Amino acid sequence: MSGRFMDIKERIALGVRILAHQGVFPLALGHVSEKVPGENLICILSGQVHDMGGTLEKVGPAEIVVINIDGELVEGDMEPPGERFIHTEVYRSRPEVRGVVHAHPPIAVALSAAGQEILPITARSAQFAPRVTIFPYHGQVDNPPIGANVAAALGKAYALVLRGHGSVTVGESLEEACIHTLTLEETARQQWIAAAFGTPQPLPAEGVAEGGAAPWHSPKFYRAAWSYYCAQLPNSF
């Protein structure tokens, strides 16, 4: 295994283990990637972990492969995921993005199946304003044109939900993208609970515009949140 990408591979593997432990990768389905700075190369979790019946809570750097921006394997002994075109097309359209996560958070997916957009109903979810778009496609994103449609639907947002399928979250770092996935599912859970008492209301637009998301969308917050989620992992790895 090349040492050139080892830091990125270890970071991705840690992110995968965090997300799996938090329950957003059922049946070991999902993938995490990070773009190599200054190059059209992407480190990404192999799709073969699921195919072999493995668990993502035990993933290490050996399960991370390197592809180019066209989705072709550059380095690794395992195959890249079939839905790698979510990642390639998001990176192609969003130069500022460094991390992409495709997950299957159960409550977020359930809300999408009911046609319910996830709303920024809490301060921590203000970065999702005005709402998280539902992309009306539940099939596999296994070719560049569909990946480009997903990237276009995402636009400049941090999150998107494929109806009845899963989520796509992005960030200016891998850690940020992973935390956005967990914040998305947390917000979906809170919206589900709020609906039992009335109609969930998004934060006022003026509050968001005045910096409502700022404390929860800063390097300091993401560092603290990453450390928190790392501390939740079992010590057995």
Q: Is the pLDDT of residue 104 over 70?
A: yes
- Provide the pLDDT for residue 1: 52
* Nearest-angstrom CA–CA distance, 222 and 215: 10
CB–CB of 15/43 below 8 Å?
A: no
Q: What's the whole-number average pLDDT of the chain?
A: 92
Residues 67-72: what's their mean pLDDT? 98
Q: What is the pLDDT of residues 128-160, one digit of tens each?
A: 999 999 999 999 999 999 999 999 999 999 999
Strand partners, 31: 102
Q: Is the peptide bond before 130 cis (omega within 30 degrees of 0)?
A: yes
Which is nearest to 81 in space by CA: 53, 104, 58, 102?
Answer: 102
- Provide the pLDDT for residue 206: 65
Q: What is the pLDDT of residues 153-169, one digit of tens each?
A: 999 999 999 999 999 99
The count of other CB atoms within 10 Å of the CB of residue 219 is 11
Superfamily of domain 6-216: Class II aldolase/adducin N-terminal domain (3.40.225.10)
Residue with tokens 């072999």: 52
Residues 94-111: what's their mean pLDDT? 98
Task: Give the pLDDT band (50/70/90) at residue 44.
Answer: very high
Task: Give the pLDDT band (50/70/90) at residue 216.
Answer: confident
